[in-house]
Structure 1
Amino acid sequence: MEGFYPAGWDFEKIDACIDAPGNITVRQPHWNEGFNLVQCDALGELTVPKDQRNFATKENLPTYPGKIAALKAEGAKLVLMPVLIPSAQSNGSN
């Protein structure tokens, strides 16, 4: 992944922002005092249809080039969204 992310990104600081999923609702000292969590309902009909979900599984990854080529042939544009993954040093307690 070297060279993929913009120069200057401090991954140690980014990793320090990562916590265990169960802690997502624990209020943090750096939150604005006016910020409040709001529970949302499930998306229901507005969710991504099952046949359009493309999770990066071992079985699904090899199909990506064909799917991308077919979409581009129909005029679609490719947009990549980076996902930050905790480093091996992070244990989720940061």
Structure 2
Amino acid sequence: MDMTSYTEVKSKVIRNRILEILKQSEVDIDKTVSITESDLTDVLTDLQINNFDFGKVAGLRKEINYTGYKIVYKDAKIMKIKEDTFDIDTVPKDY
């Protein structure tokens, strides 16, 4: 199984498209946004990528985390992302 990443240029284009989708998407009942391979069809066609795999997008987790989201589920064809919220009530009170 070939696990090499897409080139940095291709990965950046895909990451940018995922971020655009995130900003435009409605949140599901479980407070996540689902992104599938079919959501990226236009970009994948332009980049001539067949048999897309989210696992091959270099820097994806880092980029998602940096923009205030976190990946809660990811496989080759679907990814679920939710807003990364900080809840002060969940911090242990060790003072």
Q: Which has the higher helix share?
A: 2
- Shorter chain as denominator, the TM-score bin is under 0.3
Question: TM-score, normalized by length of structure 1?
Answer: 0.23
Question: TM-score, normalized by length of structure 2?
Answer: 0.22
Q: Which structure is higher in RCO with an 8 Å CA cutoff and minimum separation 6?
A: 1
